[in-house]
């Protein structure tokens, strides 16, 4: 599959190729947006993996698809749809996962919310005829046509949520590692959980604009899981997770620019290869 026709426009001269990457404004915007998204996904994803909320994150990413298709149908900007519906989804999940729920009833509730969100998204898409090609990019992401206004929004949202998580980092870490002891020490565990789900919703809404609703995981879970394989120290783990997310995004965007295959494929494959490699090295040592 990796024949010459896959990679078009590559001179195989590194300096030339990097210059070609920055030659077009759309690509510069994509790289800026990708950087903001990767930093945010690296930080939030680390806490998400620590809190074992991967299923919740996936469900939120599915509501991002609903948001985008609803916005398309209603004629409002897609960004509004992403952030609005993901916020609602986070609240719904927080309501569904009360403190006294068993694991099994919580997973049934999460699954039902996710399936309903997808079903509604499909309904909106089919009511809004002619978006059939757009459906693929909503689900699997595109880096074409990101405007400078969108980049500004993405950077602002990423900054706000990283700062919020940074302020709450200590109690959030405590509440994630041992909720019972944290609660006994007077940490507002429930409130922190709700706030984290909201920030996660924001983060997912932002990430899905680059990777598409279905591939959010590649940036949220995989870099964080890789980092947690390598180190158990919180600060080092978060930094490592951000670094991996950044590298994966940059390399993925560059490969997608020079080849005919979608960015989602490269981002998922590179991050999974890194994860598999660390697992393997851990198993060998």
DSSP assignment of 19-54 equals HHHTSSHHHHHHHHHHHHHHHHHHHHHHHHHHTT-H
Q: Is 146 helix (H, G, I), strand (E, B) or coil?
A: coil
User: Where in 236-275 is the site for another protein (CB under 8 A)?
Assistant: 260-262, 264-269, 271-272, 275
Q: Which of 218, 238, 248, 255 binds another protein (CB under 8 A)?
A: 218
d(CA 169, CA 177): 12
The span of 72-80, 127-135, 152-160, 177-185 binding another protein (CB under 8 A) equals 127-135
Q: Is 269 helix (H, G, I), strand (E, B) or coil?
A: helix
Q: Tell me the closest approach of the beta carbon of residue 31 to another protein, in angstroms.
A: 20
Of residues 15 and 100, the one with the C-beta less far from another protein: 100
DSSP assignment of 170-190 equals HHHHHHHH-HHHHHHTT--HH
Q: Which residue has the tokens 């993901």?
A: 86
Q: Which of 78, 80, 88, 140 binds another protein (CB under 8 A)?
A: 140
119 in contact with another protein (CB under 8 A) = yes
Q: Which of 20, 80, 88, 120 binds another protein (CB under 8 A)?
A: 120
User: Where in 53-72 is the site for another protein (CB under 8 A)?
Assistant: 54-55, 57-58, 62
CA distances 160 to 36, 107, 145, 223, Å, are 11, 30, 24, 21
CB 85 within 8 A of CB 66: yes
**Residues within the interface to another protein (CB under 8 A):** 1, 49, 52, 54-55, 57-58, 62, 103-105, 107-112, 114-116, 118-120, 122-123, 126-127, 132-133, 135-136, 139-140, 214-215, 217-218, 221-222, 225, 260-262, 264-269, 271-272, 275
């Amino acid at each position: 599959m990796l024949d010459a026709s896959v990679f078009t426009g590559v001179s195989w001269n590194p300096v030339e190729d990097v210059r070609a990457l920055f030659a077009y404004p759309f690509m510069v915007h994509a790289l800026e947006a990708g950087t903001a998204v990767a930093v945010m996904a690296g930080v939030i994803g680390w806490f998400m993996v620590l809190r074992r909320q991967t299923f919740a994150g996936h469900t939120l990413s599915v509501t991002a698809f609903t948001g985008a298709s609803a916005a398309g149908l209603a004629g409002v900007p897609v960004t509004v749809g992403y952030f609005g519906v993901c916020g609602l989804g986070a609240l719904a999940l927080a309501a569904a996962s009360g403190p006294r729920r068993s694991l099994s009833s919580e997973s049934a509730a999460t699954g039902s919310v996710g399936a309903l969100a997808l079903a509604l998204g499909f309904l909106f898409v089919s009511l809004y005829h002619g978006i059939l090609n757009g459906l693929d990019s909503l689900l699997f992401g595109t880096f074409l046509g990101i405007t400078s206004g969108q980049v500004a929004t993405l950077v602002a949202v990423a900054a706000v949520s990283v700062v919020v998580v940074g302020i709450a980092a200590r109690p959030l870490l405590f509440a994630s590692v041992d909720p019972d002891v944290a609660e006994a020490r007077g940490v507002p565990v429930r409130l922190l959980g709700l706030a984290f789900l909201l920030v996660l919703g924001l983060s997912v809404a932002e990430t899905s604009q680059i990777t598409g609703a279905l591939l959010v995981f590649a940036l949220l879970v995989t870099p964080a899981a890789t980092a947690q394989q390598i180190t158990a120290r919180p600060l080092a783990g978060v930094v490592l997770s951000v670094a991996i997310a950044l590298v994966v995004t940059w390399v993925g965007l560059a490969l997608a620019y020079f080849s005919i295959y979608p960015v989602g494929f490269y981002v998922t494959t590179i991050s999974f290869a890194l994860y598999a490699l660390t697992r393997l090295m851990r198993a060998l040592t």
